Amino acid sequence: MPPRNRKSIGNAIHIQALFVIYEVMNWNLLDKEHEFLKLLEARGKSFNTVKNYKADLQCFNAFLIEKQQHLKLRSFSTQQVQEYAQFLDGKYDSSNSVRRRVQALRLFFDFLLGQELFPDNPLKQMAVSPKVLDNPAPTSFSDVVKTYQFLKQRLKASEGLAELVNARNLIIFHLIYGAGLKVSDLAKLAVGGILKDKGNFRVLVEHPKRDPYSVPLPPVFNKDFLFYRACIQEHLGAGGIEFDELLFNANPYKILSGGLSPRGTELIFADLRRELKIELTAKSLRQSCIFKWLNLNINHATIKEWLGVTPAYSLELYLEELKKDPAAMVFKDLEAVDE
């Protein structure tokens, strides 16, 4: 039997097992999980956030299947909460992974509580360790320069749609290393989000639940952005395509849509890692930007504002790395590569 068929049968068996567990109830767990995820979507949670909640709840489903001989959800006791904690500890090495799955399930039980399907939230009794922040692992400045030069060379050697795609990738690089944007910030960034600022540009970052803020872009961004803007206007006019986003999704033959998903951005970085044989992710490049701002002696409150984090957010881990090896953490704004 082909592997994919075995997997499909295995999934069907798991789903059937969940139905067996809950067939004596007047509601079904899988249906309620689906309702919960739909509610998250309606509240404006991103596609990736909803996908992560779904994966976290599937972990709980796996636990229920494993314990189906004696576990009844309507009597989810302190002992069973402890069993779930042991299940997670045995499954995941990272305390952050355990913490995230507990938090997802806690919110799901709050949802069930709101529908009067449970008298209380049993997960409130489950203590988890505080979130552990990993030490920053920035892309080295030499690799930042190497990536920039590679992107410029690739752009110069291309034409047509490939030229536009390479120009887009260069803009993504600038927005992360130049302005510290996250991949989620890039996804729906509007064309109008690039603002003129005394001969340079700023990028406007907007979130549905926070006030918008803007981050200055270094001078090296200017020429590359003007080229990209002209290039995309030419292609959109010729193809009769319209969209409001700054970035776009494309295959080798045509532009598919405006906007670029976080997954799409990560695939671009996966390609760069293969080509350049370096450790490079969107996250590591953003961390390089944070070290760049620290090297430029930007006020810490301003850095937090540009990162879109609360004033309580701590830069201590970055400062510790800077103290440990100042020479390895020297980052600065890039200089334009001559055409």
**SS3 per-residue string spanning 213-261:** EEEEECCHHHHHHHHHHHHHHHHHHHHCCCCCECCEEECCCCEEEECCC
Both 92 and 154 in one domain: the answer is no
Instruction: Please check whether residue 21 lies inside any domain of the structure.
Output: yes
* Residue ending a domain, choose from 96, 125, 154: 125
Q: How many Cα neighbours within 13 Å face the side chain of 134? A: 10
CATH number at residue 193: 1.10.443.10
Instruction: Please check whether residue 316 lies inside any domain of the structure.
Output: yes
* Residue ending a domain, choose from 101, 125, 149: 125
Gap between the Cα atoms of 95 and 186, Å rounded:
29
CATH number at residue 34: 1.10.150
Higher pLDDT, 67 or 297: 297
Gap between the Cα atoms of 162 and 250, Å rounded:
10
pLDDT band at 20 (very low <50, low <70, confident <90, very high): very low
**Proportion of the chain above pLDDT 90, given as a percent:** 47
pLDDT score, position 19: 41
Q: How far is CA 100 from CA 52, 105, 115, 238, in A?
A: 9, 9, 23, 47
Instruction: Please check whether residue 336 lies inside any domain of the structure.
Output: no
Both 270 and 157 in one domain: the answer is yes
Both 183 and 298 in one domain: the answer is yes
79-85: long-range contacts at Cβ-Cβ below 8 A with a sequence spacing of 24 or more? 80/122, 81/122, 81/123, 81/125, 81/126, 82/126, 84/60, 84/126, 85/126
Q: How many domains does the chain have?
A: 2
- pLDDT, tens digit, 9 for 90 and up, residues 285-338: 999 999 999 999 999 999 999 999 888 888 999 999 999 989 989 999 998 776
Instruction: Please check whether residue 135 lies inside any domain of the structure.
Output: no
- pLDDT, tens digit, 9 for 90 and up, residues 72-90: 566 566 677 778 888 888 8
Gap between the Cα atoms of 162 and 255, Å rounded:
11
Gap between the Cα atoms of 214 and 178, Å rounded:
12
Both 165 and 110 in one domain: the answer is no
Instruction: Please check whether residue 133 lies inside any domain of the structure.
Output: no
pLDDT score, position 169: 98
Both 91 and 195 in one domain: the answer is no
pLDDT score, position 72: 53
**Proportion of the chain above pLDDT 70, given as a percent:** 84
β-bridge partners, 140:
none
Both 48 and 168 in one domain: the answer is no
Both 191 and 120 in one domain: the answer is no
Both 116 and 155 in one domain: the answer is no
Over range 53-64, report the average pLDDT.
Answer: 87
Both 116 and 160 in one domain: the answer is no
Range of the structural domain that residue 202 is part of? 141-329
* Residue ending a domain, choose from 125, 160, 192: 125
Both 91 and 145 in one domain: the answer is no
Both 216 and 321 in one domain: the answer is yes
Gap between the Cα atoms of 143 and 277, Å rounded:
10
Q: Which amino acid is at 237?
A: G
Q: How many Cα neighbours within 13 Å face the side chain of 21? A: 24
Gap between the Cα atoms of 306 and 182, Å rounded:
11
- pLDDT, tens digit, 9 for 90 and up, residues 88-101: 888 876 777 788 88
Instruction: Please check whether residue 186 lies inside any domain of the structure.
Output: yes
Above 50 in pLDDT, residue 1? no
pLDDT band at 339 (very low <50, low <70, confident <90, very high): low
Instruction: Please check whether residue 132 lies inside any domain of the structure.
Output: no
Both 85 and 150 in one domain: the answer is no
